[in-house]
Structure 1
Amino acid sequence: MGQHVGRAVASERKIAGLSQHQLATRAQYSLSLVKAVEQGREVASPGFIAAVSKALGVEPDRLRGTPYVGTLEEDGPLEGLAELRAVLAEGAYVQALEPPGQSQLVTQLAEVEKALHNDKTRRALAMLPTLIRQLHGAVQEGNSGAEQVRAYEMLCAAYIAAEGACCRLGYSSLTALVLDRLDWAASHTDDPGYAVRSLMKRSRLLMSHGSTEVAMSLVDRGLTLLPGRNEGERALRGYGHLRGAIVAARGRRLDIAQEHIEHARRIAKPMTHESDLYTTDFGPGNVEIHACAVELEAGDPGKAATYGATLRLPADMAAPRAGHHWQDNARAWLMAGKPDKALAALNKARVVAPQQTRLHPSVRETLHGIAAAQRRQTDSLIGFASWLGSSL
């Protein structure tokens, strides 16, 4: 199979002039794990990648090899990417377009959010640049304070969607620019929810760079902005606790991570659905998915695998969220020494969210691990690798 993260780690380590022992010390991981990842005997977890990239002074995407340009090109040109780059480069001087009526803007935004919910990220990306320019036009043409504030709120939602699209397609280097624009737009609304969404999304970005302490401070800051007086604020508080759980787990603080999960469970308990408010996808199902993720990152991978396999995901759960769960479940099964069950979980991810599964770095890492663990290459493994665009 093509290069896995371990080979990239070994290459970058040698360029930096570090021994395996020196890298392990800097990244605060064991020497045995560094050796195992470099040799392809262990899967590089997101936490490991973040710590090692920080220790080596390289972008995490450099180690992961993202974006997977070859895979993206198989489905044709990635419409909207060049134009979104231009919008972000223009920054505060973005060239606005004359907007259609507000009802049409609302419809277009809903189409973008629906596409992301249904794992149609390429479609969302194609629509976003024009929509963002039109929303800037709506901000400039707002005839009243209320109209302008509403335009800013929709602009916030469009930037939130853009951040999600960039992450899923592997262009995470663009997310800092998106979040800067989101911060600016959120400062012009009367709704603290958009500022909170920005804080939580930035905490995810910081987490990928190994800055878990700063990431947790942003989570704490966001939670203080939300007293939880209405359904939207409660969904955001729950979402914030789930982000806090993952940040704490990534920092290997299982106790704090589990406290956040319990807070989220209490908020989700009376809910009968997964909320689409602020596109948080917060609800009882998402809480249990995160409980499994916490165990995988900082607790017991065997427990994460077993419990995760029994979850019945709600029908209204966003497809990429469900797909991400089965990707994590596959990694948990692999860490528990069950490569066959890991491959079965990857196939579940493929069914529920094919676009995301083909492009998520953890899928390729897990597939490398399965190939290394299995004594022979099964037809199902070869078939999945072929679909993914990798060779065994």
Structure 2
Amino acid sequence: MEQTHVGHAIASERKIAGMSQRQLAARANYSLSMVKAVEQGREVASPGFIAAVANALRVDPDRLQGTPYVETLAEDGPLEGLAELRAVLAEGAYVQPIAPPGRPELRAALTTIETALHNDRTRRAMTLLPTLIRQLHGAIAEAHSDSERLEAYEQLCAAYVAAENACCRLGYSSLTALVLDRLDWAATHVEDRGYAVRSLMKRSRLLMAHGSTDVALSLVNRGLEMVPGDSAGEQALRGYGNLRGAIVSARGLRLDLAEGYIDEARRIARPMRHESTLYTTDFGPGNVEVHACAVELEAGDPGKAAKDGAALRLPSDMAAPRAGHHWQDNARAWLMSGKPDKALIALNKARAVAPQQTRLHPAVRETLHGIAAAQRRQSDSLLGFAAWLGAPL
């Protein structure tokens, strides 16, 4: 059975470690009252709290969150592509290539995968990724010119970017370090430094999940230094990097620094009229404001984050998972502000725009249990959402 909430797992791991609540609070640098409230399900475990406690207990954050949610994934049938992707990653530098189709077919396959991720069809992307990665290795081996080989390497970089996204969304974050190692390698074979920048930013996200915010921020700044130009792609990368810096800073409770990154991202996005798809960054004016609310939630005033987030008009071209994540954050903000009914409304908005991501995101389950703890009587709407999520209350 999948666990009910993170607090149960924390209490169990703490007892296995022979640690008192007071000792855990001291090692994680949180208050004793917060540790008690999370273990009892009265407070939602934030991502920062989970990272700090996981470090203190010497366990993987995924262990506390219970991810991946295998039973939930199984309800929609076998997760095609996962076992093969694991094999590809285990092969490392010795990936067994397969004969590639023509260059137009390779480009079309990559577009199909990126479109699936943009539209919250992550399972579809996972199904297609292993074959494409092997075909691209075949295309590199069979290239007739430097330009053909360079094109194949660039597409391989993009495929690894997509693989990292898919693994994170499906709850297999333990695979992302291997994916990023392969992305680092592929990026050394292309002239476009954008993929190396993407890899640094994605690794900063992985480090942030483990509480290493200082190292994560150093990678963000290193990536920003690698984007010197002002082309549309470089501007998107620069803006994306500033948004990553804002979240890492907020996770480290450095609000002033986070707001500085948001201000710079807002300046870059000001002349834009849409959300960019370049390098699949999804950077644009809408994403900046979504991140501004996330910063306020992580390091500022949850009440302001809730109100500002609820008032946002998300662009129609915003990626579905990005919009869904915003409403997930908005739900947590409302719950922290003492408004569980509004939190449930926000969760239903997340479900409407990105059902696959919402069903598999650990923060959604934490928020749901927080709503149940805060409500005097469990409403039909809450019970219905819990049943859809597959999370017992």
Residue in structure 1 matched with residue 225 of structure 2 by the alignment: 224
Question: What is the CA–CA distance in structure 2 between the aligned matches of 1:238 and 1:121, rounded to whole Å?
Answer: 25
Residue in structure 2 matched with residue 380 of structure 1 by the alignment: 381
Residue in structure 1 matched with residue 243 of structure 2 by the alignment: 242
Residue in structure 1 matched with residue 128 of structure 2 by the alignment: 127
Question: What is the CA–CA distance in structure 2 between the aligned matches of 1:390 and 1:212, rounded to whole Å?
Answer: 31
Q: Give the SS at the match of 1:271.
A: coil
Residue in structure 2 matched with residue 288 of structure 1 by the alignment: 289
Question: What is the CA–CA distance in structure 2 between the aligned matches of 1:168 and 1:141, rounded to whole Å?
Answer: 33
Question: After TM superposition, which residue ranges in structure 1, 4 or more long, deviate above 2 angstroms?
Answer: none
Which amino acid counterpart does residue 271 of structure 1 have in structure 2?
M
Residue in structure 2 matched with residue 194 of structure 1 by the alignment: 195
Question: What is the CA–CA distance in structure 2 between the aligned matches of 1:18 and 1:250, rounded to whole Å?
Answer: 25
TM-score by length of 1: 0.99
Q: Give the SS at the match of 2:178.
A: helix
Question: What is the CA–CA distance in structure 1 between the aligned matches of 2:260 and 2:28, rounded to whole Å?
Answer: 26
Measured after TM superposition, the shift of residue 391 of structure 1 is 2.3
Question: What is the CA–CA distance in structure 2 between the aligned matches of 1:88 and 1:3, rounded to whole Å?
Answer: 32
User: C-alpha deviations, 1:310-340, integer Å up to 9, x for none?
Assistant: 0000000000000000000000000000000
TM-score by length of 2: 0.99
Residue in structure 2 matched with residue 390 of structure 1 by the alignment: 391
* Cα contact 2:54–2:210 (8 A) shared by 1: yes
Question: What is the CA–CA distance in structure 2 between the aligned matches of 1:301 and 1:349, rounded to whole Å?
Answer: 18
Identical amino acids, percent of aligned pairs: 78
Q: Residues 205-220 of structure 1 correspond to what in structure 2 (within 5 A)?
A: 205-220=206-221
Residue in structure 1 matched with residue 323 of structure 2 by the alignment: 322
* Cα contact 1:254–1:294 (8 A) shared by 2: yes
Q: Give the SS at the match of 1:265.
A: helix
Residue in structure 2 matched with residue 107 of structure 1 by the alignment: 108
Q: Residues 1-392 of structure 1 correspond to what in structure 2 (within 5 A)?
A: 2-392=3-393
User: C-alpha deviations, 1:207-237, integer Å up to 9, x for none?
Assistant: 0000001000000000000013200000000
RMSD of the alignment, in Å? 0.8
Question: What is the CA–CA distance in structure 2 between the aligned matches of 1:132 and 1:2, rounded to whole Å?
Answer: 34
Question: What is the CA–CA distance in structure 2 between the aligned matches of 1:214 and 1:245, rounded to whole Å?
Answer: 14
* Cα contact 2:3–2:66 (8 A) shared by 1: no
Which amino acid counterpart does residue 33 of structure 1 have in structure 2?
M
* Cα contact 2:3–2:9 (8 A) shared by 1: no
Q: Give the SS at the match of 1:143.
A: coil
Measured after TM superposition, the shift of residue 2 of structure 1 is 4.6
Question: What is the CA–CA distance in structure 1 between the aligned matches of 2:215 and 2:189, rounded to whole Å?
Answer: 25
Q: Give the SS at the match of 2:392.
A: coil
Q: Give the SS at the match of 1:316.
A: coil
Q: Give the SS at the match of 1:17.
A: coil
Which amino acid counterpart does residue 369 of structure 2 have in structure 1?
H
Question: What is the CA–CA distance in structure 2 between the aligned matches of 1:179 and 1:364, rounded to whole Å?
Answer: 28
Aligned positions, number: 392
Q: Give the SS at the match of 1:272.
A: coil
Q: Give the SS at the match of 1:180.
A: helix
Question: What is the CA–CA distance in structure 1 between the aligned matches of 2:271 and 2:112, rounded to whole Å?
Answer: 29
Give the unaligned 5+ runs of structure 1. Answer: none
* Cα contact 1:228–1:237 (8 A) shared by 2: no
Question: What is the CA–CA distance in structure 2 between the aligned matches of 1:256 and 1:17, rounded to whole Å?
Answer: 37
